[in-house]
Structures are given as structure tokens and as C-alpha cells.
Chain A
Amino acid sequence: MPSYILEMRDITKTFPGVKALSNVNLKVEEGEIHAICGENGAGKSTLMKVLSGVYPSGDYEGQIIYRGQECHFRGIHDSEEKGIVIIHQELALVPMLSIAENIFLGNEHAKFGVIDWGANEKRTRALLKKVGLSEDPNTLITNIGTGKQQLVEIAKALSKEVELLILDEPTASLSEKDSQALLDLLLEFKREGITSIIISHKLNEINRVADHVTVIRDGRTIETLDRSEISEDRIITSMVGRSLEDRYPPRDPKIGEVFFEVKNWSVYHPLHADRQVIKNINLNVRKGEVVGIAGLMGAGRTEFAMSLFGRSYGRKITGEVELHGKPVDVSTVGKAVKQGLAYVTEDRKVFGLNLIEDIKNNITIANLKGVSTNGVINDLRELDVANEYRSKTNIRSPSVYQKTGNLSGGNQQKVVLSKWLFANPEVLILDEPTRGIDVGAKYEIYTIIARLAAEGRAIIVISSEMPELLGISDRIYVMNEGAIVGEMPASEASQEKIMRAIVRGEGKAA
């Protein structure tokens, strides 16, 4: 008889118009790593918010039994007191404060309200060492990468004497290497007796670390799988209710002449005028071709894409963009859109969505012309469009009037994608298009990409998931430190070859 550290019984949680959870059950054993899987909007994050007191007792039905005691958390302070710490899907660090300040925010070592920075710094150093960071505690959060920020979040959790650590999609925006480090850390914690609950759409990671997997579908517990039963296919079948034959849709690429070409593209850092971020990039995409850009986090791929798209990043931008062999002006976002460019951002909350508006208004905002005549919006046409794209990308919501801020992470991503699909671009640049998206929805997005390519558009996909790039692209560029360091047809590419190109590039740069 295993001893359970946590039992959640018959948890039901409703939002206006949405039943996010209905009678969900979850049992977590002491000292294990317990994974929670499910499609976008299945209710995973909601369940964890119930557990951690984000939704206080009384806001939901059901029981939470922690260490044999029924708990009624009124807020996260209550749950933290018991050693339950949650790290949310979207990081909650203050960018302009230092690592140490962030770790002890609201929890500072202080005497009579005066902060003892010496003590804080010492503790921070110890905590950082534990999570494998060698950063100076005084470094500002904005100056470290996402992977390290995630580790700082964990260090912060450790500072609270954590017994049950909840991680909501911790590796969604991490590079392969950083993800590995994070998972190793979880295994290390497990040896120390800390129990973890991890939510992730990266099934290979779950496969690697989880002792149990609980699958949630449409707000209901489907089953809990044992270590021995865990396999990617098994999880998928349980998640989507059927087995998924292929991870990538079949394609029959008909590649035409060069359609979109970037020549000698150079960009400097917006703040440090002498730092060249993008170094003389040359790249082309043919009609009907899907081109992938591989690289590690921080290789400058997003910066490259954003600088192309209406100079939305950087300064002292030089170089040329050609469509159909003719130079075109893409110096503002408006002009770029008019030329048929679209850029689907990797950061949906900051750059992609107006979170206080509904799905409908977000989908049409980049192409209001398409739903209006002489500046007057045709409401019904707009509603039709919104509904059409909502079903095309399979956005899960009660209606298109749902505020995007209330959607699950993956569904938010689909709204951003819908927005740009409706703009009907000739050249579509997708930056991490499947970040935080479940396997089923990934397949749908790949299908959309394949369809757009088949229609003769040019597509650029930036992704840190190499299998994905290998699965959907026709040709792959490898980027490192702001420069293209390799190019290969997808048929000849492999993860090793891409990595080798990166390493070779690094050797050259040094």
C-alpha cells in the first residue's frame, strides 16, 4: 500500500460558461515524480491552481487531502506554508530586479523591516548552487536566458522549504540542453525526497522522468498510468481518445522558383549600438517550400525574424528583401503585411494577444480590411470569420466571445495563429509555432502548414524542437550567434548534423 502525500477528490471547478474540471481525482505518492498530461484546455493548469490555492477553498467543489489532512487553502500563502509550491506556466519573475531580490521577494531576510542583503546573498548563492547556476546573485533577471530564469524560479521554490513542487510546463520554452538539466534536477530532488508534479506536452521528457502519469481529458480524469505502462503512444491514445498514427501529416511538396529572398541582412542591438546581433544573413524560400531555421536558444532567430517583419527589432538594419526577384519595402509592419508577410510570434502574451479582448477581435485585428468596408466593420462578416478560424484551428472555448486571457496556453497560441492565417500571407514566418501545444493540436498545425505550402506559399519555421523541424521542413538552415552556419535539405539532415553545424559555427566564431 503506497503512502499518498496528496489526494485530490472529485474536484469540480467552473468558470462562467465553462466547466473546466468535473470530478477530477488525483493521487500522488510520497517522493515520486507525477506527470499530468492532457490536451490544451483539458484543465491541467486549473487543477494545479486549485491545489495551490490560487483558486481559494470555496471556489471549487471537492476535497484536497495533503498528508492525511483535509486542507482549505485560502491563498497561495496557505499552501506554501505546507510546503506546496507552484511554478506557473508563465514565469512570474520581476525582470528589473536581481536574482537575489526575486528569490526572496516578499520573503526577505529582514530585521524590523530592514533587509539584510548580506544574508540574502549568501542564501541565494547556496540555492543557486543547488540548481546548478553559477550566476552572481546580483545579476538582473532580464540579463539571463529563459532557461536560467526557470532555474531561478526553482531556486525560489527551494527557498520556501518545498515538499511538493508543482511545475506547469517548465520546459516549454527551454532548449534541449536546459530541459535536460532541469529534468536531472527533478530526479535529484526525488532522491532528496521532494515530491514533484510536472505538466508537460513533451512526452519524451515525461517518459524519461515520471513514475506515474495522470491523463486528463475535457476536465475529467481518464486514468493514471504506472511506470511500467508509460510510453508515448500509450499517453497519446489516452489523451486524445484514439491512437495517432503519424506525428506529421504526409506531404507531397511541389517546390517552385525562389519566391522570398533575404540578402546581406545585418542588425544591431537596440540598446548596445556596437553589438551586431544578426550577421549578414542570406536566405531564400521557394514557392511551396517549408524552410526550417534550427539553432539553440539565443541564436538570434527571433531577432532575425522580427527585424525582417517591419523592423520590429533592432536598429541600423541593412540588407535587402526580395519577393519574386524584386526588392520590396518591408520597413514597417504595415508595409510588410501589405507585401504579404506575416510573423507569428513566439511570445503570445507579450507580442501576440490583446488579453483583455475576446477571440473574435484578436483574430481580425491584423486584417480589419477583410471584414470592413470603408472603415466600417461588418459585424456579421467578422463573426463568421472568427467562427471559421476558431474551428479551423480547433480553438477550445464556449464561443468566440471568450476573452483570450481566460484561454489555456495552447488555445491562446491557436488564436495568434488564426490571426495571421486570416491575414492570408504569401510568406509566413512561424516562431516556435507549437510551443505549449498538445500532440493532437500539433498535428493540426502541421497540417495547416502543409496546406499553406501546397497552396504555393513560402513558409519559414523557427523551432527549437529538432524532430519537429526534421518532420515538417523541406530545407533547414542552421543559425548560431546571429549567423547562418549551415544549410541542408531535410532529407539529408539529422539532429547530429545540425548540432555539428552549430559546433563548427562556434569554432569559427571563436
Chain B
Amino acid sequence: MSTDIAPNPQTGVATDIPAGTRVPVSSFVSNLREYGLILALIAIMVFFQLTTGTLFKPVNLSNLVQQNSFIIVMALGMLLVIVSGHIDLSVGSVAGFIGALAAMMMVIWPLGGFFANPLVVAILCLVVGGAIGAAQGYWIAYHRIPSFIVTLAGMLVFRGLCQGLLGGGSSVGPLPDSFKALSSGFLPEVLGTWVLIPPTVNAAGKTVFGSGITLNLTTLLLGIVAVLAYAISGLRARRTREKHGYEAEPFALFVVKTIVISALALFFVYQFAVYRGFPIVLVVMGILVAIFVFITRHTTIGRRVYAMGGNIKAAQLSGIKTERLTLLVFINMGVLSALGGLIIAARLGQAVPAAGLGSELDVIAAVFIGGASAMGGVGQVISTVVGGFIMGVMNNGMSIMGVNVDWQQVVKGLVLLGAVVFDVYNKNKG
């Protein structure tokens, strides 16, 4: 029994805390998987870069983001659903339905005036999404109907409503350009551009596309600010830890980690800056990811979701209102499904009956590749995002390689299985 007397650094009062126990051993170990996943993503990207030669091209990176952002947006909601011990199969259908609803409001129904504004339509659609989430969550939370069944019903209902709304098999469009900007727009160059190498001008006096290097300053600056903020906040968190007498991870490790991540981030920032800047949808996604990282790591509500997923009975007996929390998780999922639906519609420029069809599977796969547990209680935002990008990069890379869609499915399925098997194997060994 070690009962060395260690002075409490905060109060100066001596409390008997066993010596050598204030090392957050597992904070690094638990992040190990996250790093591994990021490495896997990079390896996959490098692989496709080597085989296709185009993956890292600025224009392709923008495409990649624009094609996959809706999956990641919905995966953020799905992560909380899965962590709380549930599943939501309806997200693809809800996204399709909301896309149809938005298109009807903007194109077919003569709403006029205030409602002609795409932003108003978008907000209305998010509210409807929340209501759909609440309607499903109500049965799951208060009547204890298994989420698998409720959302399976939702999947059928909203796909049907989506098709019904669009009047059978037709598509509705075109959507206004200001709405399409959500998916295909880029951040405006408010600061102008910076011509690094002037583009070559051909005989006809026109610039050759893709020649020269012109940087989008707004994007460059935003990117650099974000990276700096990341590094500084990391450093400050370290400082406070040390000030309170807790050891942080080894300094060398911290430095290497921060430099590697910053360098990677800057590389991508540069790639976007030389093309047309950050896609708007990337910014939306980035903000959402930051919010969800904060919620899951630093808020009481996030902590309660994990507690509920880990052991619902213990959570209830600790005073957590599990019904209300479950409802909130599904409302959140509904809102994010709606946003996903808007992004899909904006990218296609129209609403189609099959919008979002099957995307629930990609979304769920992203969360599980990210290491969430099907039993609930375990899962990380960043890992989920990386999982989403792994799916996205594979879609994108295999399409460029000309792998046909059937085989793409086979490969994605195997990657999902592999990731989960790897997890389970590691857990048993640990």
C-alpha cells in the first residue's frame, strides 16, 4: 500500500494520493487507434495517388470533399445514435425526402415572398428534419420500441414520401444557383489572390487551364489561422495540465504529433488554395466537426450520452434522464439527415427520387470503421470523420481507377469487416 503524502497542488492541503499515479497513461494509448486510422487513410490516399496519379490533384480533392461531405455530416449524428446504443436506418430516406421537400418549396410550390429565399427554405427543412427525428425518437425513447424497427419503418415511409412528393419517378429542378452554392460553391476571395507563378498564355491570348500557381488568399489565411489555433490550444492545454501537477504526454511526442498534423493540414490547405479555395461545404463540415468534438469531449450532455450507451441502468440510477436524452439524440440525427439531404440536392442541382438511397449504409459503415462499438458507449468524432473519408477516398479512387460499382461494394464491405475485426482482435489482446 503506497500512501505517500502528496500536496494537493490546488489547495496546498496534503492529501494522501499514492505516488506516481497522476500520469494519464491511457490518454495516449486510447489515441493510438486514432493515429493508426489516420495513417491508414493516408496510406490509402497514397496508394490511389500512385495508381491513378490524380487523387491529390487540387480539383479532385475538391470533388472528393463535395461528393462525400453529406456522409460525414450524417455520420456525426449517427455516431451519437450508435454510442447511445441505437441505430438509425432511416437517414438515407429522410435525406431524400428533405431534398424533395426543399425542391418542391423552391421550384414547384408558389410560396413566394419570404419563403422564396433558399436560406429560409433550408432552415425550414432542418426544422422538419428535427421533427422527423423527434417522431422516431419518441417511440424509441418513451415506448422502448427497438430503434432498428422504428427506423426501418422510417426508412420505408420517408422513401415513399420522397417519391410521392416528387410525383412518381420524376425529378424536380433546377434549383436556384444560390442554393446550389451550398455544395458546389467556394469561399469568396475577399482578400483577392496571390499570383505565385503567372499562368502561361497561349497563342490565342487565353490562359492555359491549370498552368501557373495562383493562391486564394482567404483560404490560405483561414487555413493557417486554423492550424495555428490547433497548435496553440494544444500547447495551452499542456501548460494548464502541468500547472495543476499532472504530467502530460512526453513533450517530444507532443511536438512531433503537432508538427505532423499541422504539416498535413497545411498541405491540404495549399491544395485547396491553388484551386478555387475551400469549398463552402467543407467549411460547414469543419464547423460541425469542431462542434461535435467539443460536445462529445467537453460537455455534460456528451458525457451522459456515453454513460447511457455504456450501461443504461446505471445511467438512470445516476440521475440521467435517459428518455429525454435518447429523444435529443434522434432529433439531432434528424437535423443532420436533413442537412445531408440539402447537400445532396444542392450538388445534383435537383431533387431525384433516389437521392440518398443506400447512404445509410455508408454512414453507418463510417462510424464503425471509426471504431465505435455496436454495443454502445464507445466511439470518437475524429475517428468517425476519418472513417468517412476512408469510405470517400475509396469511392473516389476506385471510380478514377475504373473499378466497376459492384466491385467497389465488395471492397468497401471487406474494409469494414477488416476494420472491425482489427478492433476486436486488439481489444482481446489488450
- A residues at B contact (CB < 8 Å): 16-17, 218, 241, 309-310, 312, 332-334, 336-337, 343, 345, 350-358, 361, 365-366, 368-369, 372, 375-377, 379-380, 383-384, 387-388, 390-391, 394, 398-399, 401-402, 419
Contact = CB atoms under 8 A, between A and B. Distances in A.
B314 A351 contact: yes
A357 B298 contact: no
A401 B28 CA distance: 11
Given A377-B298, A380-B244, A391-B17, 5 more contacts: A333-B316, A354-B311, A354-B377, A368-B304, A387-B17
Contact of B319 (A358, A366, A391, A401): A366
Contacts of A218: 1
B241 interface: yes
A361 B314 contact: no
A390 B3 CA distance: 12
B128 to A, nearest CB: 27
A357 B306 CA distance: 9
B377 A357 contact: yes
Interface string B154-198: 000000000000000000000000000000000000000000000
Contact of A351 (B246, B307, B313): B313
A312 B322 CA distance: 13
B430 A377 contact: no
Contact of B321 (A334, A369, A399, A419): A334
Interface string B1-12: 100000010100
B22 interface: yes
B244 A377 contact: no
Contacts, number: 116
A332 B244 CA distance: 37
B249 interface: no
B57 interface: no
Contacts of B316: 312, 333
A317 B232 CA distance: 56
Contacts of A398: 21, 25
B317 A312 contact: yes
Interface pairs A-B: 10 shortest CB-CB: A354-B310, A401-B26, A366-B318, A368-B300, A337-B319, A354-B311, A333-B319, A391-B17, A334-B319, A380-B244
A394 B299 CA distance: 28
A335 to B, nearest CB: 9
B359 to A, nearest CB: 29
Interface in B306-354: 306-307, 310-311, 313-321
A353 B314 contact: yes
Most buried by A among B8, B25, B29, B378: B25
B234 interface: no
B29 to A, nearest CB: 7
Residue among B1, B304, B319 facing the most chain A CB atoms (10 A cut-off): B319
Among A218, A355, A380, residue most surrounded by chain B Cβ atoms (within 10 Å): A380
Interface in B217-266: 240-241, 244, 246
Contact of A399 (B23, B300, B373): B23
B418 interface: no
Contacts of A356: 310, 373, 377-378
A334 B23 CA distance: 34
Nearest to B430: A16
Given A355-B311, A357-B310, A399 B246 contact: no
B211 interface: no
Interface in B15-31: 15-18, 21-27, 29
A350 B313 contact: yes
B303 A368 contact: yes
B301 interface: yes
Interface residues of B, number: 42
A380 B310 contact: no
Contacts of B27: 401
A375 B300 contact: yes
A387 B319 CA distance: 23
B318 A391 contact: no
Contacts of B8: 384, 388
Interface in B26-50: 26-27, 29
B315 A365 contact: yes
Contact of B10 (A16, A309, A384, A390): A384
A380 B241 contact: yes
A184 B394 CA distance: 66
7 contacts: A333-B316, A334-B320, A345-B317, A354-B307, A358-B26, A366-B319, A377-B303
Nearest to A218: B1
Contact of A391 (B16, B241, B300, B315): B16
B299 A365 contact: no
B198 to A, nearest CB: 50
Interface in B93-143: none
Contacts of B240: 380
A369 to B, nearest CB: 8
A241 B1 CA distance: 10
